[in-house]
Amino acid sequence: MPIDISDSRPGDQPQGRPDGQAGDAPQGDPAGSGSVRVFFDAILHPHRSLGRNGYRVLMTVVILLNLVAAGIFVANGAWPVVPFFGLDVLALWLAFRINYRSARQYERVRLTEKALTVQRVHWKKPERRWSFQPYWLRITHNERADHDRRGTAGQVTLSSHGRSVGVGSFLSPDERSTFARALDDALRRWRRPPCPPTKAG
């Protein structure tokens, strides 16, 4: 699933993992402390149309077809062309290798009683983090077909006090809508008494 969401309702116990199960929070994530109430915790993954099992089946079929074709050419004396049959297999393997590496990236959006944090992990870029005071946070769901000057088309933008960050650019429009609604609902719960604990920004 491209989106893993967990949240807490009134009376829920604090959560330490994005799947809602008991456990330790990731290292370096102070918001994961069991003493802090978690209102929303979502991990966004790039969409992959073909899983590991499908990849294995596809590669097996492609290799078998190439072996059959190569055998036919060898039987007809055209053996010099045989090495070229491996090139498409190699190209396909490289394409999937790059695709699965890029799938390691993710974005984590976490709302606790203290802050909303965004963690972005990219497979070839340094990890980045943002933190916002939830009381003034504004959610903008932009599905414009063309990129505007800020490049915010097709993503959910979180902004507060002149700072903003876009998340979910690799999700489908329906997935972004689901994420935006879930986060907005969590913010509404956060703003109900006795929360927020503070309005200071």
Residue 184 amino acid letter: D
- Reduced to 3 states (helix: H, G, I; strand: E, B; else coil), residue 98 is helix
Dig out the tokens for 195 from the structure.
Answer: 């929360």
Q: Check if the beta carbon of residue 112 is closer than 8 Å to that of residue 39.
A: yes
Cis? peptide before 134, omega within 30° of 0: no
Could you give phi then psi for residue 69, rounded to 5 degrees? -65, -40
Dig out the tokens for 157 from the structure.
Answer: 């933008």
Q: Check if the beta carbon of residue 117 is closer than 8 Å to that of residue 138.
A: no
**pLDDT (tens digit per residue) in 154-191:** 789 999 988 999 998 888 888 899 999 999 999 999 98
- Reduced to 3 states (helix: H, G, I; strand: E, B; else coil), residue 156 is strand
Rounded to two decimals, the pTM is 0.61
- For 174, residues 6+ apart whose C-beta sits below 8 A from its C-beta are none
User: Which whole-number Å values give the CA distances from 90 to 7, 56, 59, 84, in the listed order?
Assistant: 44, 14, 10, 10
- Reduced to 3 states (helix: H, G, I; strand: E, B; else coil), residue 13 is coil
In the block, residue with structure tokens 């994420």: 179
110 closest CA partner among 22, 189, 40: 40
**pLDDT (tens digit per residue) in 86-144:** 888 888 888 877 777 766 788 999 999 999 999 999 877 899 999 999 988 999 987 66
